[in-house]
Amino acid sequence: MKLLKITLLTSLIVTVLSCKNEKKEADIAVNETQNEINEGVNVIPISHGTLVLESNNEVIYVDPTGGSEAFKGQKSPTLVLITDIHGDHLSVPTLEALNLSNVRIIAPKAVTDKIATTISNDIITLNNDETMDHNGISIKAIPMYNLREEALKFHTKGRGNGYVLDINDERIYISGDTEDIPEMRNLKNIDKAFVCMNLPYTMPVESAASAVLDFKPKTVYPYHYRGSDGLSNINLFKEIVNKGDKSIDVQLLGWYN
């Protein structure tokens, strides 16, 4: 009888220890998964063409506009990217309000010419097709310009930048103000893409969808879609893209709440 009790007790102890080990392994797996999630780049829409990209080590403000109040609750930036000279991309009052004196600002020459050194002591001019490194992030300036004859006056080739960022094993494309140019259609291996679509200034929804179906990003975010006649039909954009390629994840975020 004693031997039976000892055997049962031993079996119970083994079972308890086994369960504890399984729970520990499960907790480790959860932690590892959470770490993988944290290593990604978080997308925070601010308004229209303004957004924040946040990784473990960087907080990137793209085309900051709307004053400091637009960024209440956001982490302070470690980098600022600006695409063009128009007021919905370059807002000098916003730059002044954000206290960027020790924050690097990267922009094309047409933009950096308009930013005083009192705003930042680290202003970098990056023009079309140029590449630079920022804390391990590869940043390439991509052309952005109009194609339609009636829209050529809005964005001339060479003035503004789109950007391709390689950050945390993700490749991110920010279109800036552009149409469905060859430089966009020929992009490769894009994980996240921010694509504009507003008339008369950039391009119609159909052109944006056609370009996206050419370069096939894993995820696309329609943004910058307020035009002279109101908001573009981003649901139509999603419908066209997913009809052409169901594997592309179209994310509709709240840019105009």
pLDDT at 257 (0 to 100)? 81
Rounded distance between C-alpha atoms, residue 160 and residue 88, angstroms: 13
- My answer on whether 165 and 242 are in the same domain is yes
The neighbour count for residue 222, using CB atoms within 10 Å, is: 27
Range of weakest confidence among 11-20, 56-65, 73-82, 213-222? 11-20
- Opening angle at CA 254, ends 68 and 189, nearest 5: 100
Measured CA to CA, the distance from residue 153 to residue 151 in angstroms comes to 5
Shared domain check, 218 and 172: yes
Judge if 148 and 236 occupy the same domain: yes
The residue whose two tokens read 């009636």 is: 150
Domain count, the chain: 2
Rounded percentage of the chain residues whose pLDDT exceeds 90: 80
- In the DSSP assignment, the letter for residue 21 is H
Note whether 24 and 77 are same-domain residues: no
Q: Is the pLDDT of residue 83 over 60?
A: yes
Q: What is the CATH number of the domain that holds 116?
A: 3.60.15.10
- Same domain assignment for residues 141 and 31: no
Is there a single domain that holds both residue 79 and residue 14? no
Whether the CB-CB separation of 181 and 148 falls below 8 Å is answered with: no
Q: How confident is the model at residue 40 (pLDDT cuts 50, 70, 90)?
A: confident
Residue 20 in this model has a pLDDT that exceeds 80: no
Decide: helix, strand or coil at residue 12: helix
Q: Which residues of 93-107 are buried (b: 16+ CB within 10 A; e: fewer)?
A: ebbebbebeebbbbb
Residues 79 and 194 in one domain: yes
pLDDT of residue 39: 58
Tell me the residue range of the domain where 4 lies. Answer: 1-38
